[in-house]
Amino acid sequence: MNTPPPYLQERYRLVEWLGKGGTAVVYRAYDEVLQRDVALKFLAPTTLADETRRERFLREARATARLVHPHIMTIYDVGQESGWLYLALELIPGQTLRMMLDRQPGPLPIPEARQIVQHILAALAYAHARGIIHRDIKPENVMVTPDGQSKVMDFGLALPQDEARLTREGAIMGTVLYLAPELLQGQPATAQTDLYAIGAVFFELLTGRPPFADQSALGVMLPHILQTPPPAPSLANPRVPVALDELVLALLAKEPTQRPASAAATLALLARQAEQPLVLRARSSALLPELIAYTAAAETAVARENERRHLAQMLHSQIMEPLHMLLAQAGTYEQTLAANPTARMAVSVLTALARQVLQQVRDLEADLHPALLDTLGLEAALETLANRMRRIYGVQIDLDVARLRERLPAKIELALFRAAQESLQQSIQQGRATHITIRLAQMGEQVNLHVADNSVTPATAVLPDTQTYILHLGGDVNSQANAGQGAAHTIQFHLTPPAQLTPRELELLQLLAQGMSNKEMAQALAVSPRTINFHLDNIYSKLGVSSRTEAAVYALRRRLVE
């Protein structure tokens, strides 16, 4: 039989043909029991000829039918008729995201692209929390309604990779562009594979094409997907802000562990980014290497801190909280063993070990995320750091921390704390120091952090993780390391008041830092190039610089623009 039966289960009456895909055909049907229109999706009898696969498909379809969410197409019913598997689905007005992209070539407006991805992420977060993975996120499986709502279709119903739709190069081309590398290598689908697909869809919405779509043949495309990092979306669409660039590239990471933690976490991050000022990526063709290095250092430092905080949150939720619960239960259990001294002693020993592990995890969490730095400031965070190092390593640490007149900018506080932390770790672990001195002082508009030790074999690498970032925040690093004479690091920040720029000059400086030419700035601000030159001369004079690149670097270092 080449067509499905016109009447099913004495309930569904076919009304009209809506379309077909590689393995399915869809009809509009009328549900005579509930008196409503539905979409009936039929899978041909040859599609799942194996009984095991047929049963697995039915089982997953019934599980997916329990998903009720505003951004997920509802499955009303699942069954078989005359050898045809069918799904009774919510009939959604509108068009698929693929049809929408085909009718509107090129990138979507960023707010529209962001909203579509937010809807998909909300659907994924809901399904993942219930143990259901989509496995085939792509524009063809997203419906967009006339009022701008997006709904994900076919949750949990993607066929295995060895099914018919993946046996021909022409058939696979449309899907492989959104498949995670580990899925193409035969590994099972996980929530992280769905996140990769989201990244590929987001990339296409922002640029007008999927990543690696310029590789015309499947044999050429697959190595790129498996090995080559994707380009930043802003290379194809300069209007893409830095925050979205970073998010898309994180979603498209080759290793699943390098992608965001979950769909819910990605959704929260995207929502926060929508509330932040728009920051475009600087155009490297218009900037000197110094500015490129600054941007790279800043982005690397931010990514590193975000990963540290994420790890600290995982330690707290997945290790510390269960340990607290275990200790509470052990204390109660120990009291019930008064009549059995041997068992009570065993529980007591295990409890002591658990407390030691808990303390070690606390120390690690504090290293990854210095919470005191956010609440009480640099002085309190340094004092806690010194106390922790004394307790763990038994070294002598002399702390001379003057109370600063006011809180430093958050980035500078964090850079100074990380410099002190890295210096202590180098001194103790590599230099075998037994005596370390830390001094923090402010003299006028200058803040100094000095760390000295009596290390026997000073480290050859001087603050490798923080030095570049300190320099690009406008600080200076002076380090000395001599065998037998110890090591010393001095970090200085000059807190000179920022230049007093007018709102128009600040706006112009923002465009300059984005790499715009004078002509582009004039068009953006609807003024003449002559007016741009006049403002730039004033800016150079106020900042004490002589070129547009020096002005951009100065502004970024002094945080006049972000």
Distance CA 78, CA 61 (A): 7
Angle between helices 289-315 and 242-251 (to 10 degrees): 60
Residue 264: which of 128, 411, 115 has the closest Cα?
A: 128
136 is annotated as an active-site residue = yes
Sheet containing 36-43, strands listed edge to edge, beginning at the edge strand earlier in sequence: 7-8, 12-20, 24-31, 36-43, 84-89, 75-81
Please check whether residue 396 is in contact with residue 436, taking contact to mean a CB–CB distance below 8 angstroms: yes
Bridge-based pairing of strands 435-443 and 396-401 is parallel
Distance CA 17, CA 207 (A): 33
Copy the structure tokens of residue 183: 């899925």
Contacts of 187 (CB under 8 A, 6+ apart): none
Beta bridge partners of 494: 446
445-455 burial, b for 16+ CB within 10 Å, e for fewer?
Answer: eebbbbbbbbb
- Cite the DSSP H helix spans in 284-340: 289-315, 321-335
Please, which residues have CB within 8 angstroms of residue 60's CB and are 6 or more apart in sequence?
A: 156, 157
* Residue 118 burial class via C-beta count within 10 angstroms: exposed 0-12, middle 13-18, buried 19 and up: middle
Nearest partner of 201 among 109, 139, 125, 114, judged by Cα: 139
Neighbours of 122 (CB within 10 A): 19
Residue (of 41, 42, 12) closest to 29 by Cα position: 12
Q: How many CA atoms lie within 13 A of 235 on its CB side?
A: 9
Q: Please compute, for residue 155, the number of CA atoms within 13 A of its CA located in the half-sphere on the CB side.
A: 30
CB burial of residue 552 (10 Å; 0-12, 13-18, 19+)? buried
Q: Which of 50, 77, 102, 136 is catalytic?
A: 136
Neighbours of 43 (CB within 10 A): 22
The catalytic residues are: 136
